[in-house]
Amino acid sequence: MCLAVPGQVLSITNDQLRTATISFGGTMKEVSLALVPEADVGDYVIVHVGFAISKLDEDAARRSLEIFAALANKEAGSGTDSHTLT
């Protein structure tokens, strides 16, 4: 299964890969914007394997991040193996 995660562009370096610092709910990662040249600081993007693959509107990004947080909280409180589907 593949997972793409929404994050917000905090800064952009115009190097060969157009590297950006992306915030995933407070966790910062360096990501390439080469596949999404229209992305700018403040935009939300979907990131997969270190590359932003599309832009996302803020409401959709916030809903996705809330769902991920709820799933993480449920998993943390379930006491089950992290590979078990519930």
Fold classified for 5-77: SH3 type barrels. (2.30.30)
Share of the chain above pLDDT 70, in %: 88
Question: Within a 13 Å sphere around the CA of 15, how many CA atoms are in the beta-carbon half?
Answer: 10
Sequence ranges of the domains in the chain: 5-77
Residues 31/36/42/44 CA torsion (nearest 10 deg): -80
The whole-number pLDDT of residue 79 equals: 58
Residue 60, token pair as written in the block: 């959709």
The whole-angstrom separation of Cα 49 and Cα 51 is 6
- Give the tens place of pLDDT for each residue, 33-56: 999 999 999 999 999 999 999 999
